[in-house]
Structure formats: structure tokens, C-alpha cells
Chain A
């Protein structure tokens, strides 16, 4: 399953161009960071238990809407809290 995060501040239409392969989804927690301003939504998902810092987290970033910027802020937070993860731009 992929958790998709998008901010209502971004009014442009956002979506994943294509899905990552099944193996990546099966072996990781995959979060699609579709826009900027989604960092708090990620924290909400951690608090709800939808995302665990005990397992690797793959952040998918698109090439627009400040997606990569938000993914970098989230990845930095994950590392500050002893989690593991990385960003994929082209998957």
C-alpha cells in the first residue's frame, strides 16, 4: 500500500505518474509525497500508527509542487528520530 500525502494549499492537480514495482511496496513502507506542506500529515500518520519508524520508509517525490522539498524535510525528521529511509525520485 502507498500512503499518498497532498496539501490543500496546492490547488494544482497532483498524482503519481506511475507506480513503483510490487517488490518495493511489499518490502517497505512507501509514502508518496505529492506536494509541499505535507510534513504535518506525515507526522499524523506516524502518530496514528500508519507509519512505523521501526521499518524502512521510502519517500516517493515527484518533480513538481515542492514534493521533493517536503520529502527532504520528512526524511531529515525520520533520521532525527532514529528511523531509516530514503527518497526515490525516479523509481
Chain B
């Protein structure tokens, strides 16, 4: 059975990102392992730069060994006021190493990353939708952003600060233009969304998370996000795989 670590409880704002550990165990053969956030925050103040961010990465690697984990999700905002750095770099590196690693202890996002890895070979980029613009011919353009991105998915990247806190190490990466899949599974495994989309450009603006990409998609994707989304975080992975992602009833 695959073991996934949930390091700290889901962030307080994930009010709809609920999950059922029993269903996940039965259907996906995945065991969720609850780990106290203290196992990371006990690092104490690690310093604000790259060196401090790498100490968080090393601690997560230790926890992966200790609990025999294949992936993890981290209540990362608790690090801001305790270790005074961010988990963005650690998660970016773990994802690049093939260990799905999600932010904010979001379990449905982590499960979706496990699926992304299965269909694409990549953990995928955990994103927030930031802006939606309708286009002609039933098309739309959607801006997605987050402060971490798997380092094996970017052409170039640079370190900056984390958006909301202004501290730590966030990542501004630029992803290759091309075909991607936008996807999300619910934590009760009763809904799945997947759409083949195209990444058309990168951008870098203030007042948004640091890696920012525009995708083009059918207008149905915008309709889904605006009327009946599976909570907030979605996963963007390279290639077109929507046809492989369905729920068996």
C-alpha cells in the first residue's frame, strides 16, 4: 500500500477540500499518514534565504525515510511564523525528484498529483486560478499561479519571495508552451475533472503567486471553474491525458 504523509492539518481556508481516508484506502490503495507539523517546525528559525529553505527540504527527506512515504502534503503556512521560511523550494525539489508534494496539507490536490504522475510521469504543478477571460469561438484563457512549481517542469526559474508573506523562498518559473492537462479529483473520490488545455504564455506580475501561466481551453473549462469547481487547487501536468481520467462507478 502507498503511504502519503499529511504533515499538519489542512490549512484553515481549505473549507471544501475535505477527504475520506477510508474511501481513499479502499479505492486507491493509499494510506494517509498523519504527521504532526511539529516534526518540521521543531527546526526553529532557519533563516530567510535559500539555505534555510534547504533545511526544510532536508527535514522533509528525513520524514519521508522515517514514515516510508511515497508523497506528502505540508501545512506550509505554519512555517512562516515558526521557522521563518517557506516550503516552496522543498516541495519544488521533491516533485522534481518524483515524490509528489503538495502545499497547504491539501489532500485532494496530493491525490490528483499522484494521478498526474501516473498518466504523465510528472507530479504536476499545483495551481490557483487567478483570472479568467472569455474569448471568441467558445474558447477562454485562464491565468494560473502558485509560489512553487516542480523544477523538472520549467525551462528557467529564479528564486524570489513567497507572495502572501513576502519572506522565504518562492519560485518564479517559466514553463514550456505546449499541451497540458488540467485536472482535479475530489477527496471523496466521487468527482473528477480533467481537460486537455494548451499553455500559451508565461507572465510575471506583482500581487499574484510567483509562477504564472496562461492556458487556453474550451469555454466549458471556464464554466466549470466559475459554477461548480472541485474546490480551489488544480493540477497542471504536461501532455494531453484527459481521456485517461474517469471514475468507474
What residues of chain A have their CB less than 8 Å away from a CB belonging to chain B?
A: 9-12, 36-40, 42-43, 63-66, 68-70, 72-77, 79-80, 86-90
In the bound complex, residues from chain B placing their C-beta under 8 Å from that of A79 are 228
CB-based contact B132/A73 at 8 Å: no
Q: Which residues of B contact A72 (CB under 8 A)?
A: 129, 225, 229, 231-232
Query: What is the bound-complex CA distance between A89 and B233, given in angstroms?
Result: 18
Q: State whether B13 touches A39 (Cβ < 8 A).
A: yes
Contact status of A76 and B231, CB under 8 A, knowing A68-B130, A69-B129: yes
Task: Find out whether the CB atom of B130 lies under 8 angstroms from the CB atom of A66.
Answer: yes
Complex: chain B residue closest to A81, CB-CB: B16
The answer to the question of B131 belonging to the interface, with a C-beta cut-off of 8 Å to chain A, is yes
Q: Given A40-B12, A63-B130, A69-B130, A75–B209 Cβ distance below 8 Å?
A: no
**B165/A9 in contact, CB under 8 A:** yes
Q: In the complex, which residues of chain B have a beta carbon less than 8 angstroms from the beta carbon of A74? A: 15-16
B15 touches A86 (CB 8 A): no
Tell me whether B155 is interfacial, beta carbon within 8 Å.
no
Going nearest first, the 8 A-B pairs with the smallest beta carbon separation are A76-B16, A69-B128, A77-B16, A64-B207, A39-B13, A73-B232, A63-B131, A76-B231
Pick the contact of B17: A63, A73, A88 (CB < 8 A).
A73
Residue in chain A with minimal CB distance to B228: A79
Find residues 208-249 in chain B having any chain A CB closer than 8 Å to their own CB: 208-209, 225-233
Residues of B within 8 A of A80 (CB): 16, 18
Q: A11-B166, A36-B164, A39-B15 are in contact. Are A76 and B230 (CB under 8 A)?
A: yes
Q: Is the CB–CB distance between B128 and A89 below 8 Å?
A: no
B14 within 8 A of A: yes
Q: How distant is the Cα of A37 from the Cα of B12 in the complex, in angstroms?
A: 8
Pick the contact of B15 from A64, A65, A73, A89 — CB < 8 Å?
A73
Closest chain B residue, CB of each to CB of A87: B226
What are 27 A-B interface contacts by the 8 Å CB criterion? A36-B164, A37-B13, A37-B164, A39-B12, A40-B12, A40-B15, A63-B131, A64-B130, A65-B207, A66-B130, A68-B130, A68-B225, A69-B128, A69-B233, A72-B129, A72-B229, A73-B16, A74-B15, A75-B228, A76-B16, A76-B231, A76-B232, A80-B18, A86-B226, A87-B225, A87-B226, A89-B226
